[in-house]
Amino acid sequence: MNTPNLHPHASQERFAHRVAARLDSQLSHDVSERLRAARVRAVAMRRQPVAKTAPGLQVQNGAATLNFETEKLRFTGWFAALLPLIALLAGLITIHVLQNDLRASELAEIDSALLTDDLPPAAYTDPGFLKFLKTPLDTPRTATPE
């Protein structure tokens, strides 16, 4: 029966040790010492502590992560976290107000055009007027007696 590995990287570590042992056995003492020193430096770099830059922000090996569980944020931290949300809401409200103003000015322009036109507004709802508008210009139009 296969038992699951408790260490997910155990096979990689065994392979690395076999490669290192083989390289050490085939190389000169000088080269093997330089390789050993490079391995020690690489392991030391891998185990470096996480650098703190800002409350909740951690940067390690060029990757930034947010972590709010380890320490509580002060007011400035919360404000900095909420600032993009506040800016988004202000932008959405501004867009909404501008759209309403634009819509109202378009409707006012249509109303003023209807009221200042030669035709009365009731003519636009007349089915005969709609038929009149749909007829092509090159056909003779006859006036219908009322």
d(CA 39, CA 36): 5
Three-class secondary structure of residue 66 per DSSP: strand
d(CA 141, CA 139): 6
Instruction: Give the pLDDT score at 1.
Output: 44
Q: Which amino acid is at 16?
A: A
Q: Is the pLDDT of residue 11 over 70?
A: yes
Residue range 20-59, pLDDT digits in tens: 777 667 777 788 788 788 888 888 777 666 555 566 666 7
Please, what sign has the CA dihedral across residues 102, 108, 114, 116?
A: negative
d(CA 24, CA 35): 8
Three-class secondary structure of residue 25 per DSSP: helix
